[in-house]
A and B are shown apart, each in its own frame.
Chain A
Amino acid sequence: MTANAQSMATSFKQDLLNGVHAFSASYRAQDTFNAALYTTNQGLGAGTTAYSATGEVSGTGYTAGGVAVTFGTPPANANGVAYVTPSANIVFNNVTLSTAFDAVLIYNNTAAGKNAVSVHTFGAQTITAGTLTLTMPSNDSNNALLRLA
């Protein structure tokens, strides 16, 4: 089993050149993005190309595919860096997830292939009849969740 690794999906970079993703409605209809949780040691990382239910958490209150991610602020650039960050916390309410998980996959839920964007890791967690809240870094050129430099 391979540990999950924090990374931008390599396929995401190719997708950008192909115009697959729209994080805002500035140029075409905005895509919807989801966040799905994965148990430890599923090998998620730069090589992850799309959402898959394999290795995804399961439990009371959790729906396969995860929850929607809100990108309410269009991508911006400053200091030679383009960046974007979800504009709201990612919240999994009233869930019981007994198997330890340590990664969230953000993916394009509009794209037919459910194309991967990025994998974010954290210390392993479990949730019992509770809530997991993922809060975001500041949306600027130094800290944004996704940056292209």
Chain B
Amino acid sequence: MIPVLIDGQMAERDESELDRRVGGHEDDNEIATWVEYRLKGTDTIVHRSAHVHLKKAIIGDAMAASIG
């Protein structure tokens, strides 16, 4: 069963009642994938989940000055 939002109401639907689409992209910063479910025969997204893998570290510089 897939959790769905239909007309503002949370519900569950069997996957067979829905159209499933998956997508994703990768760049230097992330690997993102998502899955969307639409009511069959419509373009209404009733479920969307995403998975984002953060690839890019954040670096802070630490410095010590010379004395004298």
B62 contacts which chain A residues (CB < 8 A)? 82, 148-149
Beyond A123-B32, A129-B4, whether A13 also contacts B51 by CB under 8 A is: no
**Of B3, B29, B61, which contacts A121 at CB under 8 A?**
B29
A60 contacts which chain B residues (CB < 8 A)? 5, 10
A30 to B49 CA separation, bound complex (whole angstroms): 32
**Of A125, A142, A148, A149, which contacts B34 at CB under 8 A?**
A125
CB proximity of B19 to chain A, nearest CB, Å: 14
Q: Which range contains the number of B residues in contact with the other chain?
A: 20 to 34
A80 to B32 CA separation, bound complex (whole angstroms): 31
Could you tell me if A122 and B60 are in contact, using CB atoms closer than 8 angstroms? Answer: no
A118 to B56 CA separation, bound complex (whole angstroms): 12
B40 contacts which chain A residues (CB < 8 A)? none
A52 interface contact, C-beta 8 A: no
**Of A118, A122, A129, A136, which contacts B58 at CB under 8 A?**
A118
Interface residues of A (CB under 8 A from B): 6-8, 12-13, 60, 82-83, 94, 96, 118, 120-123, 125-137, 142-149
Interface residues of B (CB under 8 A from A): 3-5, 10, 25, 27, 29-30, 32, 34-36, 45-62
